[in-house]
Amino acid sequence: MILASQSPRRQELIANITPSFRVIVSQAEEKLPEGIAPEEAPVYLAGIKAEAVAAAHPDEVVIGADTVVILDGEILGKPRDQADAERMLRALSGREHTVITGCAICGFGRRVTFSEQTRVTFYPLSDREIAEYIATGEPFDKAGAYGIQGKGCVLVQRIEGDFFNVVGLPVAKLKRELEAFDTSLSSEDKA
């Protein structure tokens, strides 16, 4: 099994499903087509990653994933700089947003995609809280400028849905999708 992601968080999480995997980072350009709905973006990007790696490893199962934070119909990606992180955290302050992780499983000429959504509500944040969090450096490689599994946990008032989805990989759903993918491969072998 191959994980097409350089995210250390995804690598830790997939180890809960299988200790036997390797990481091959996709070199595919992650560009969204014009007009794609924000909710469809993570599945599209996960598919690009998984397919690029699967093309070089067609007889292995490849998993791609992508996580987005959506607020008011806008995707909040990784912040470009401190000002962008500040803008995102101010926008999220005291509000609910949606985190969607898209996953793609490719291999043996097959492709399955799915996504998981989790609603996250932030506490109202003071300027000081925002500045202190940004000073940790944690926001800069995270969608929406926060990491729920790290120091960003103090920003979150509540979540509705899968916690691990917010971290970057919906582990329980992925396990079930992998089992179904493997079962269908076994069925094809018997046919």
**Residue with token string 């599994």:** 149
Encode burial over 133-162: b for 16+ CB neighbours within 10 A, e otherwise: bbeeebbeebbbbbbbbebbeebbeebeeb
- Counting every residue written for the chain, the total comes to 191
154 pLDDT band, cuts 50/70/90, is very high
Assess whether pLDDT exceeds 60 at residue 75. Answer: yes
Assess whether pLDDT exceeds 60 at residue 152. Answer: yes
What's the pTM value of the predicted model, to 2 decimals?
A: 0.91
Q: Is 2 helix (H, G, I), strand (E, B) or coil?
A: strand
Got the DSSP string for 99-155?
EEEEEEEEETTEEEEEEEEEEEEEPP--HHHHHHHHHTTGGGGSGGG--TTTGGGGG
- pLDDT of res. 30: 86
**Residue with token string 């093309």:** 55
In this structure, what DSSP letter does residue 81 have?
Answer: S
Please classify residue 59 by burial: count the beta carbons closer than 10 Å to its beta carbon, then call 0-12 exposed, 13-18 middle and 19+ buried: exposed
> Domains in the chain, start-ordered, CATH in brackets?
2-185 (3.90.950.10)
Cβ–Cβ < 8 Å for 64, 26: yes
Cβ–Cβ < 8 Å for 69, 117: no
55-59 mean pLDDT = 94
- pLDDT of res. 190: 41
10-31 mean pLDDT = 93
Half-sphere exposure of 42 (CA within 13 A, CB side): 27
- pLDDT of res. 185: 56
- Phi first, then psi: give them for residue 51, nearest 5 degrees: -65, -35
- pLDDT of res. 5: 92
Residues with active-site annotation: 66
38-59 mean pLDDT = 96
182 pLDDT band, cuts 50/70/90, is confident
Assess whether pLDDT exceeds 70 at residue 26. Answer: yes
Assess whether pLDDT exceeds 50 at residue 124. Answer: yes
**Residue with token string 């999708």:** 177
- Phi first, then psi: give them for residue 49, nearest 5 degrees: -65, -50
